[in-house]
Each structure stands twice: as structure tokens, then as C-alpha cells.
Amino acid sequence: MAQKSQSHEADPEAVVEFLQRNLPFKELDSETLTDLARRCTIDFFPKDTLILHQDVSEVTHLYLIQRGGVKVYLTDSDGAVTLKDFRGEGGYFGALGIIRGSKANLNVETVEDTFCFLLEKEALLSLIQNNPQVAQYYLKQFSEDVVCTAYNELRSRKVKVQSQNAFYLFSLEIQDVIKRVPEIVHCSQTIQQAAARMSELAIGSVLVQDQSGDIGGIVTDKDLRAKVVAMGTGYDAPVATIMSSPLKTISAHSVCFDALLQMMNEQVHHLAVERAGEIIGVVTSHDIMVHQGTSPLYLFREIVAQRKIEGLYSLSQKVPLVVRGLIEEGAKANNITRMITVLNDHIVYRLLTLLHEEMGPEPYPFCWLMLGSEGRKEQTFKTDQDNALIYQTPAEDWEEIKTSKLYFRRFGNRAIQHLEACGYPLCKGEMMASNPKWRKPFAVWRDYFDRWISAPEPEEVLNATIFFDFRPGYGQVALGERLRDFLAAQAPKKGIFLMHLAKDCLQSRPPLTFFRNFVVEKDGKYKNRLDIKTRGLVPFVDFARLLSLKHGVRETNTLDRLQALADRDCISRELYTETREAYEFQMQLRLVHQLRMMESGQVPHNHVDPGELSELEKQTLRESFAVIGRIQAYVKDEFRVVE
């Protein structure tokens, strides 16, 4: 049931200031604004409050969001959500119900603590009647006939409607999200002066200029709460003492998706936007969420806010919900897997952090390694665990060695158990940190890699396909980087090893017959289906890994490897382009296939039925499989493989 309003008298000056900043009110004269302000109240709605209930709530006010945010959604007769939107500061809701004289058309629920100015229904109707520009604004926002038709169709057929902001994440440049020029204070000014400036302008941050005139950092409202109020820093202290430095920046021409990823990776909510060496503004996570419906930032916030490991168990189940939104908005496979990786990385990082705190200090510095698809940042849905643990080589002291082995055994075993509880399946080959073989000191890991590339056997080639894609995930990252340095320096010298990898790359032929028909399973569980991972994607992954090892490329992601190889002229630009496009199409097909399976209650797998594809999809898939033949011909020629 929706919460009934318990609004209170609002400060007319604060209301006028708010109205002057937002359409359509900012175009009205001061007398009209003052009159409207007198007819406004203010109300507070805690997070997760249902303010309006679809088809139930009477709409008595226009709600103007002064601070906070709400999600707006439509549910069908089965309770399924069929439309999502997000509205933040400066947004509104309730206008449609008032203009149509109907009950609430949508559910409106707060996603954080939210303050709203409430304008009386009669005041809005009078305003529309007497001010054509206001009427035109709302009519432009929604047409009664179109909205009614679309909502009825959604209710009856559950057809997804693309919002007007679809594709914005991947097309809207971050410079277009900037709301105003940046506010700058000098580093010698006091905290109180900076806070007063922020309050006066109703902004959440100011940039701090150093003695040389450069921007040295940023102070946000969070800094004021955390470093001044909580830590008791004096208000007369220089503002530079509480600023966050160095300033995190992003190019003005970056798209919103890249800004979103950077904020999540660096765990910040503000980025300074840079163009031609000049800071032209500041964007926040809130600015991006205003444009997007189902924001990954909500899930990210839930992850970093967890204080108990058990609280993380259910969060991995929410990743597909975020991914679905990205797919619907037209994201390419690389963007999708990057987002899955970022979210999964944060779950793993938070889990290991809490476990580390629970177990206490480690006897030696250590690093958690991501392997396989985790290491390549190419995770899809419910990828098996592939991980390992490396720690600093202990001193020649038996008791210390014994203590370290006991600590890391407990850490590895408990981490794997918690990850399984989070929904990450165990590796059937036991390539996990719970296996003593993959939980060793740095010196042992270096010997492993040296043996694998110096005297390769079939098992060593298999290990290369998993372990050589590692990346550091938690702890002393330098340990993992040292191992990468060793591999990047030694692998190019090992011609016999590279030859074995090259031969392995040629084992799986493109799944096409002479007449370009698909080669599918003839019987068994996956009869008439083809394995898009093993037969389609793995050859591209193997190709990129082989050439990266040969040329000392440090990247682990397949597309990043291909990009680096092309930039170094190790492969032609033409081969790079067709390889990238073929790989991305197959990965996209795999992701959509798995998402559909999950939404129908099935365990996702990689076996696709070509009969379910459109003719265009079939043709594109054939072309992408044909590229496998071309990269294998390249490998055969480059390494002079004789079959």
C-alpha cells in the first residue's frame, strides 16, 4: 500500500529557488513562482517507500523531487515489471494522473531517502490553464492517447517498450550530462568558506585550486560529513586538508557507460570532465542515473555496503537484471562482459575483504588471482570458479612456513565455500584456491610457469589456456604483476612451447560443412545444437592468447589483446577488425541465449539451436565461423605448422 503524504510547510524562498532551476517553472515570472511556492508543502520519504500505487492511489499533488530519487515502474497482472525508469533531483511524477483525472498510472518507489515539494492538484491545473508554455511542456512529455495505448499493450502482451533514453549509455557523451560550470575554491580558503559556497549554490562539490593555479582535488558533501562532522576537523582548517586528491578525471568525449565503469572501479561518485586540458565540469553518479532506468550503481552500492559475508550471497543473483537492461539498450558483448566482470569483481573483493578482517592479519603478503574467463574479464552467467592464491616466499623458518600454510589453507577453503554460496559454481577440475596445488608461494608459482613453458607437455598446454590468463583480484597486487612480468619476458623466447600452443589452436575446425551448413551434435542431450563456446569462441581466445604470449603483450582480455596486437602491427588492421566483429557477434549470441534460458528458469549453457535463429543471424554466424578458418590459416603460416 502506498504511503499517505504527511507533508509540512515548506520555506517559500527555498521552493522559489528550486522552481527557478527546473522546467517548466524556470520560464515563469517571479510573481507566479512566489504564488506557487505558497501552495507547496514538503514531505520526506525514506528509502523503499511506495509513494504511488499503480491503479490504486489517488493523485492529489504534483511531486517535485528536491533531493533523492525514485524508480517508476509498471506491473502486469502477474506482478512482473514491464517498464522501468529513474527520476532524480529536479524530476517530477504525478502530473499524468492529475491532467487525466485518473488514479496513479505507475508505481513510484524511492530508491534512497527522498525529499519532495508537493504542489496542490488545483494549483497545477490552474497553472496549465493560464500558462500555455506549461501546458505545452507537459503535452510534449506525454500524449494521453499514446500513453494509454502503450500501457494497455504492455499490460496485455508484456511487450517491452524502449524508453526515449535507450542507447544513451553508449551514445551520450559525458560532456552532455554536465549541468553547470565547475565551482572552484582556493586551497587557502577555510572549510567553512567552502561549505558556505556549496550551500549557497546548492551543489554537492567544489574543486580545489592549488598555489600554482592547477586543480589539485575535490571536496564533496560526503567529505564534509565524513572528515569534518565525523572526525571533528575544525571548520577554520584549510579546505585542502579534507579534499580528495588527486582529482579523478574523464575525457569529455567519453560515453556515459565508460564514466559509470570508472566510478564503480575507482569507488567514487564524482568525476571531473576534461576537454583539451581544461576542466569543464563535474558529473556525478546521480547525473547518470537520472538518464538510466535499471542502474548498475544500485547493485554496486548494495555490494560495497555489506558488512557481513552472508549479505553478499543473494547479490550475484541480481547481476542478470542489470545485464538484461544493458542488452535491451543495445550494449555490445564487450560492454556487457565488462559490466558483469566489474560487478562480480566487487562481490569477490568485498567477500575477501570481510573474510580477511574476520581472520585477522596474514603471516605474509598474498594476492588472490583470477583465472580463465575471470582473468580475461569475459564472464557470462554463472561462470565456474577459476582462481588461485600466491603469497610472498616465506623465510627459512619451519614454524613460520607451517603457520603461513595453515592460514592460507583456511583462507582459501573458506573463500571458495562463500563464493559457492554466492552462486559461483565450483570448478570441476578443482582449479581453485582451495586446492593446495594452486595455493603456493611466489617462488613455486614462478617455477610452475617456467616448467610449463620450458618443457611443455599436453597437460602444460591445458594449464596455459587457464593459468596464463590470470590477473590480480585482491591483496598485494604487486605479487601478481611480478608473475605477469616474468611470463611476458620469458614466453616469447620459448619457441617449442609456442609451437605446441599453435598446434592446439588448429585442433578445433570451424563448425561448417563444405556447403556452409552448421555442424551440430548428432545425438545426446544437445542434439541438433552447436556449442557456441567451444566451437565458436575458444578459437578466437586461443588465437589472441598465442600471439600475445609471442609478442609479450600483458593484456588478458581477448579484445584488448587483439587491439594491442593491431596497435603493434603484429596483425593487420583488416584481420583485427574481422576477428573482433566475429568474436563479438558470437559472444552477443551466447549472452542473449543464456539470458533467455535463465528467464525461463533453466540453467544456462552454451549450446545454441541454429533453427531458432533468424536468417540474418544464421548468415552472420556463418561469416563469423568462416573467420576462424582465416585466423587458423594465419597461425599455420606464422608458426610454420606442418599437419
- Write down the domain spans for the chain: 8-161, 174-291, 297-489, 502-638
Residue 220 phi, psi dihedral angles, 5° rounding = -115, 170
- What dotted CATH number matches 174-291? 3.10.580.10
pLDDT one-digit tens code per residue, 179-235? 778 899 999 999 989 888 888 887 889 999 998 888 989 998 888 877 776 667 788
Residue located via cell numbers 542502474? 295
Amino acid at 130: N
Which are the contacts of 178, defined by CB distance < 8 A and separation ≥ 6?
273, 280, 281, 282, 283, 287
Distance CA 196, CA 448 (A): 60
Q: What is the mean pLDDT of residues 602-630?
A: 85
Please name every residue paired with 209 in a beta bridge, in sequence order, or none if there are none: 186, 215
Q: 8-161 has which fold?
A: Jelly Rolls (2.60.120)
Which are the contacts of 206, defined by CB distance < 8 A and separation ≥ 6?
182, 183, 184, 185, 194, 197, 198, 218, 219, 239
pLDDT one-digit tens code per residue, 380-404? 876 788 999 999 977 676 777 788 8
pLDDT one-digit tens code per residue, 458-486? 676 777 778 899 999 999 999 999 999 99
pLDDT of residue 71: 82
The pLDDT-based confidence of 286 (bands split at 50, 70, 90) is confident
Pick the CATH number of 297-489 from 3.30.479.30, 3.40.50.261, 3.30.460.10, 3.40.50.2000: 3.30.460.10
The pLDDT-based confidence of 154 (bands split at 50, 70, 90) is very low
Q: In terms of DSSP bridges, do strands 471-475 and 366-370 run parallel, antiparallel, or are they unpaired?
A: antiparallel
pLDDT of residue 4: 56
> Residue 11 CB: number of other CB atoms within 10 A?
12
3-state helix, strand, coil in the chain (%, to 5): 50, 15, 30
pTM more than 0.95: no
Residue 559 phi, psi dihedral angles, 5° rounding = -70, -35
Distance CA 593, CA 614 (A): 13
CA 207 to chain centre: 26
Tell me if the domain spanning 502-638 has CATH number 3.30.70.
Answer: no
